[in-house]
Amino acid sequence: METRKLTKIGVLTSGGDAPGMNAAIRAVVKTGWYHNLEVYGIYRGYSGMIENDIRKFEDRDVSNIIQRGGTILRTARSKEFMTPQGRARAYENLKQHGIEALVIIGGDGSFRGAEIFSSEYDIPCIGIPGTIDKDMAGTDSTIGFDTAINTAMEAIDKIRDTMEAHGRLFVVEVMGRDAGYIALNSGISTGAESILIPEKKTNLLQLAQTLSDKNAKKKNVNLIVVTEGDEYGGAEGIKNYLKLTLPGTDVRMCILGHIQRGGSPTAADRVLATRFGYHAVQFLINGNYNVMVGIIKGEVQATSLHDAIKEREHINEEWISITETVV
């Protein structure tokens, strides 16, 4: 794909929302304006592209949004965009507005759509990783992750207060269908006795024995942090098993759910999102197309959308060892 002189670009958010997306939108728009580009907001992700829910951004559109959670562009998952007919409609709408390139803020599903669309219609695309799960290869962090783990940590700290007051065993479920980063970080930071993540097989017999041994030592206050994607059914499955195997133990469950997606982004997420947004536009201007913006060891990196989709970030053995030793 040859480098071309761009005059109009579009930005959208797709898939699950993440705190800090608004900061990324703001950075894309302001960097575009700095380079004399017109920037268009595409509302409701690929669905909005198909339905022509597209509007040119003005100053007021990105004022006072850096501190807001969610996304001013809203987000959606579009089954229609997965069809050739849907993508054809989306392309015609982009042509109508003169949009020549796209910045997509989202996760691997969003990038998969971008890669297909760009190959079919020669539209340069840049991906910005926005997902609280931090499961994208090619970057050390993703927009929303820092806010999500701090939200989970604060909630678990509060749960621990009441847990200790009543001498209970609490199973707390955090988000992470296929990735255990939120559980790992929130569990370590709150002193959990056990952390159950998809990357490590859960041994229920060993878990029950460990808790039984602690009860014998009169330590009847225990905190278990588990991901929603745990093989035994998340918090509810673990709770039900422990109730059967540890009769007499007061086992309670709390599912933190979507509160982890909401709230004002932390300073770290605002800065990260701003840096991503700035470099996304720089990549487009410099002809570095169809890549995801990432930051590895403090340095900006470009990973092809194909590789970002194909590979997943994996929890390394050091963290597994820490959970086995310290937790």
Say what the pTM is. 0.93
Topology classification of domain 146-261: Rossmann fold (3.40.50)
DSSP-assigned beta bridge partners for residue 299: 296
Domains 8-144+265-310 and 146-261 share a fold: yes
Q: Is residue 69 pLDDT above 70, yes or no?
A: yes
Query: Would you state the structure tokens that stand for residue 3, as one six-digit string?
Result: 């480098």
Selected catalytic residue, list 53, 108, 133, 146: 133
- Is the distance from CB of 9 to CB of 105 less than 8 angstroms? no
250 is catalytic: no
Q: Please give the pLDDT value at position 295.
A: 96
DSSP-assigned beta bridge partners for residue 324: none
Query: Would you state the structure tokens that stand for residue 239, as one six-digit string?
Result: 């709770």
**Domain 8-144+265-310: CATH class, spelled out:** alpha beta
Domain boundaries, the chain: 8-144+265-310, 146-261
- Is the distance from CB of 7 to CB of 39 less than 8 angstroms? no
Question: 17-31 pLDDT, tens per residue?
Answer: 999 999 999 999 999
Q: CA–CA separation, 283 vs 228, rounded Å?
A: 36
- Is the distance from CB of 305 to CB of 114 less than 8 angstroms? yes
Q: CA–CA separation, 320 vs 316, rounded Å?
A: 7
Q: CA–CA separation, 40 vs 36, rounded Å?
A: 13
Burial, 172: exposed, middle or buried (Cβ in 10 Å; 0-12, 13-18, 19+)?
A: buried
Q: What is the mean pLDDT of residues 181-206?
A: 91
Burial, 23: exposed, middle or buried (Cβ in 10 Å; 0-12, 13-18, 19+)?
A: buried
Q: Is residue 217 pLDDT above 70, yes or no?
A: no
Q: Give the CA count within 13 Å in the CB-facing half-sphere of 272.
A: 31
Question: 262-297 pLDDT, tens per residue?
Answer: 999 999 999 999 999 999 999 999 999 999 999 999
Q: CA–CA separation, 208 vs 304, rounded Å?
A: 44
Mean pLDDT lowest among 32-36, 97-101, 217-221, 281-285: 217-221
Q: Please give the pLDDT value at position 177.
A: 81
Q: What is the mean pLDDT of residues 67-92?
A: 95
